Amino acid sequence: MPSANDYYTLNCPTCSDLQRNSRVQMTMQQETIEGVVEDIIFHNPDTGWTVLSLSSPDPRRMGEETIVVGKLLELQPGETVRFTGSWTVHKEYGQQFKADAMHLVRTEASAQTYLASGLIEGVSKQTARQILTHFGAKALEILDETPTRIHEVPGIATKRAHIIAESWAEQRHSRKVMVFLQDHGITAGLAHKIYETYGEDTIKEIQADPYQLALDVEGVGFKTADQIARGMGLSLESSERVRAGVLHALATLSLDGHVYAPRPLVAEKTAEILDVPLELCDPAITALIKKGDVISVKSKQGPSGNLEVLYSPTMFENETGAAQKLLALATAKKSALKTEKAIARIGSDQSQLSVSQPNRPGRTPTQRSHRAARQHHSPNAGLFARQWLHVRRNKSRRSRHHYY
């Protein structure tokens, strides 16, 4: 039976709130767990969302499995992985570990399991043992650096060794890129998009200019590129960052409804977003104009009569394209008006009017010629002509707008 103090503690609203908040903080606290991947329960290659079971490498906890979820690169059963994240409780599936980051752990046991997983073409369980016997625990590192060293392993034929080396090199590039991007906080789904864009040159391209990602890869914005750049140690006032900031400022202004913006405003917006000195922005704008990433137009509507305004190439193309279409519509309307006037002139000029009627069954050539002659000399010939042209025009319109 609980004591009075226990009763007070259990029923005190303040204490209950503190206990509940403590549980929430414990749930959200970042932790690191390590284990061997037992089974891939679910993996979405587009988003990277993965559900897997992880067993502890500790012999004392043999048989214990942990469910790990998160956006991860594609793993294989048998790989030893270290996950960083927090514990959560799913209302249907219970306790899970939500991983925010992962790192592959190289051990001799995990190396053998990985080699024999079937991921590397030409490597069976027996071949995996041969590789480990020859290279030892550093087999994966050695093959990552120089896949062609597989030829050194006794008992592996030259042709098979060549197949293994090619397959290993292909897997090495993609996995190296995925680990590099995830180390910079990029989700697996977005990492796949980046790898599809740059291929084996992904790391080299990103290291050359991480801000180019925002231009080349759909789904990567300035903030993501800036996160990678800062993780790589790029200066906050670097020319690459300021140029990318100018493009981001133009995009931000376009979201506010602006097709273009005056050059001083773009410079001020860039300095504000990046928190850099204003004098760094103008040279960056000039460099982008020379490169063609920003369109500069002189406007006579400014207070000085010669205001320079800036467009993104997309907005400039949209505005000029819309203007061309409006001009084409205006020209088309003018032509239609000329056509109506021409029809009126034809109706009034009875002496030059000649309307041919379609041949109809039941009439002889003589009857048709007499009918045409009566219309030619009729005082209402102009009216008949306009009505006939009106009917023909309506038929043409109906045929154009009829969808089958």
Please check whether residue 99 lies inside any domain of the structure. yes
pTM: 0.50
Please check whether residue 328 lies inside any domain of the structure. no
Long-range contacts of 264-273 (CB under 8 A, 24+ apart): 266/310, 270/242, 270/245, 270/246, 273/245, 273/248, 273/249
Please check whether residue 163 lies inside any domain of the structure. yes
Of the candidates 43, 74, 36, which has an alpha carbon nearest to the alpha carbon of residue 182?
74
* Domain at 251, CATH number: 1.10.10.2220
Is the model's pLDDT at 375 over the cut of 80?
Answer: no
Confidence class of residue 246 from pLDDT cuts 50, 70 and 90? very high
Between residues 97 and 185, the one the model is more confident about: 97
- Tally of structural domains, the chain: 5
**The token pair that represents 6 in the structure block:** 């226990």
284 & 250 share domain: yes
pLDDT in tens, 125-155: 888 888 888 888 788 788 888 888 888 889 8
Please check whether residue 63 lies inside any domain of the structure. yes
Cβ distance 100 to 85 under 8 Å?
yes
**Residue 267: its pLDDT value, please?**
94
135 & 198 share domain: no
Q: Sign (positive/negative) of CA torsion 224, 225, 230, 236?
A: negative
Beta bridge partners of 68: 52, 97
* Domain at 64, CATH number: 2.40.50.140
Looking at residues 237-243, what average pLDDT do you find?
A: 92
Domain end (from 80, 105, 130): 105
Is the model's pLDDT at 365 over the cut of 60?
Answer: no
Confidence class of residue 96 from pLDDT cuts 50, 70 and 90? very high
∠ at Cα 44 (41, 47), nearest 5°?
140
pLDDT in tens, 315-335: 998 888 888 888 887 777 555
229 & 160 share domain: no
Cβ distance 273 to 252 under 8 Å?
yes
200 & 153 share domain: no
β-bridge pairing 94-105 and 65-71: parallel
Is the model's pLDDT at 361 over the cut of 50?
Answer: no
258 & 226 share domain: no
249 & 310 share domain: yes
The domain in which residue 60 lies consists of: 35-105
81 & 60 share domain: yes
**Residue 119: its pLDDT value, please?**
67
309 & 279 share domain: yes
Q: Name every residue whose Cβ is closer than 8 Å to that of residue 2 and which is 6 or more positions away in sequence.
A: 10
